[in-house]
Amino acid sequence: MASAPDAVRSFLARHHRTVLVTRRHDGRLQTSPVVAGVDGDGRVIISATEDRAKVVNLRRDPRATLCAFTDDFFGPWVQADGRATIVALPEALDGLVGLYRQVAGEHEDWDEFARAMQQERRVLIRIGLDRA
């Protein structure tokens, strides 16, 4: 039988719509709809821009909660908690490419993709699953 984190990974391999919950500086919760995938090490991965609240919050407090669901919204879903790390460019590029491939397939111009990631100041959020 699969462990709870393994079930979350399996679900996210097929369903990428997710709500990410982080903590604001005053302790209140902040939610963000995001697209998520899973990297080769089993961590949840999310693309974000450097200046977004979720990134600022996770740099200060790495605790994260995810709720992922199907495209139909009503139906199966999973929730998981873990600790996040933020990976900036250029180190983030391979993970950003991997996430894109999981969600959308091949890009028509990977050099253009890399330029866009740099221009948008993208980072990769990696979340290790502690509890699901």
| pTM, rounded to two decimals | 0.93
Number of Cβ within a 10 Å radius of residue 78 = 19
Q: Where are the domains of the chain?
A: 4-131
Give per-residue pLDDT as tens, 32-48. 999 999 999 999 999 99
Give per-residue pLDDT as tens, 89-103. 999 999 999 999 999
- What topology does CATH give the domain 4-131? Pnp Oxidase; Chain A (2.30.110)
